[in-house]
Structure 1
Amino acid sequence: MEAVEELKLEQDPLASGLGVAQGVFYLASGVWPIVHLRSFEAVTGPKPEGWLVKTVGALIAVVGGTLLAAGLRRRVTPELMLLAAGSAASLAAVDVVYSPQRISPVYLLDALAEGVLVTAWCVAAARAWKHRDVQPPAPRYTSPEDAAGFPT
C-alpha cells in the first residue's frame, strides 16, 4: 500500500481544460517576444533587455507546452497543478508590484487573467481533494507477537 494519497486530477475535465487553456495562453504569450519582439514591445512597452524578455518568454512557453500536453492527454497531476497555479501567481505578483512603477499598465490585464487561473486551479484542487481515493488504514497489531509475524 502506498503511503501517499493520489489525487484523481486526470479524470477531472476542469483540470484538463485548465491545462489546455493555460497551456495555449502561455505558449502563445511566451513565443510572441521570441518571434517578434517589436510587436510585443508595441503592446507592452519598450524593454531595455531584449534577451531577458526572450528568456522569460522561453520559460513561459515551456510551462505552457507542458500544461497543454498534460491537458490534452488528460493527465494533469498534482505536481502540474502546482506548477500551473504557482506560475500564474508568480506572474500576477510581478504584474501587480511593478505595473504602477516600471512597466506598462497593460500588465494589470495580465494580472487579472493570472488571478482567474489561480482561482480556477484552487477550485480544481478542491474538487480533486473532495473526490480523492481514501485508502483503508494499515492493519493494527494487538500484541508484539502479531507485529513480529508469529502465529497467534
Structure 2
Amino acid sequence: MEAIEELKPERAEPLASGLAVAQGVFYVGTGVWPIVHLRSFEAVTGPKLEGWLVKTVGAIIAVIGGTLLTAGLRRRTSPEVMLLAAGSAASLAAVDVIYSPQRISPVYLLDAVAEGVLITGWCLAAARAWKRRGPQPPPPRYTSPEDAAGFPT
C-alpha cells in the first residue's frame, strides 16, 4: 500500500497573520454591532428597512471575522484564508462604492477605504508568499496499473 504524504499548513509570515487579526477584529466588531444594538448602528449608518437582513449580514461578517481572527492568532493563513479575507473585503467594498451614492449612507465610503487598505495588504502578502514559495517542481505523473502493465489505452 502506498504511503500518502500528510500536508502540513505553512506558518504564516507576520504581515499575513497581522492582517488576518486586524481584519478579524474589524469584522467581528462591525458584524456583531447591529445584532447587539441595531438602533445605534442605524444612527451611524442610516435607517434600514429590514432589521433581520442587517442582522443576518452582520452575523455572516462576524463569522468571517472570527475565522480570520483565529487563523491570524494561530499563524495559519493558508491561501484559502487569504482568498476569504481579500474576497470578503472586495465584495463589501464593491457594495459600498456601488450603492453608497444612491441607496445607502455615504458613511459606507469610509468602509470602502478600509476595505481597500485590506485588499492592498492581502495582495502584498500574497505576492510575498508567492515569491517565498519559489518555483515548484511539476506534480508527479500518475501511472495507472494498466499503464504500468503496458496495456494500450
TM-score (norm 2): 0.83
Please give the per-residue CA displacement for 1:48-98, whole angstroms capped at 9, x wherever unaligned: 000000000000000000000000000010001000000000000000000
Task: Please state whether the residue corresponding to 2:133 is helix, strand or coil.
Answer: coil
Task: Please state whether the residue corresponding to 1:47 is helix, strand or coil.
Answer: coil
Q: 1:133 to 1:106 in 2, by over 3 A?
A: same
- Please list every run of at least 4 consecutive aligned residues from structure 1 whose deviation after the TM superposition is greater than 6 angstroms: none
Q: 1:108 to 1:137 in 2, by over 3 A?
A: closer
> In structure 1, what is the equivalent of residue 88 of structure 2?
87
Q: How many residues align?
A: 140
> In structure 2, what is the equivalent of residue 74 of structure 1?
75
> In structure 2, what is the equivalent of residue 44 of structure 1?
45
> In structure 2, what is the equivalent of residue 117 of structure 1?
118
Task: Please state whether the residue corresponding to 1:131 is helix, strand or coil.
Answer: helix
Task: Please state whether the residue corresponding to 2:48 is helix, strand or coil.
Answer: coil
8 Å contact from structure 1 (residues 95, 111) kept in 2: yes
> In structure 2, what is the equivalent of residue 132 of structure 1?
133
The aligned amino acid for 1:81 is: M
Q: Relative to structure 2, which stretch is displaced further, 109-118 or 10-19?
A: 10-19
Gaps of 5+ in 1: 141-146
> In structure 2, what is the equivalent of residue 144 of structure 1?
none
Please report the RMSD computed on the Cα atoms of aligned residues, expressed in angstroms. Answer: 2.5
8 Å contact from structure 1 (residues 22, 64) kept in 2: yes
**1:7: how far off?**
8.8
Among all aligned residue pairs of Structure 1 and Structure 2, give the percentage whose two residues are the same amino acid: 79
Structure with larger RCO (C-alpha < 8 A, sep 6+): 1
Q: 1:148 to 1:114 in 2, by over 3 A?
A: same
| Counterpart Cα distance in 1 of 2:73 and 2:18 | 8
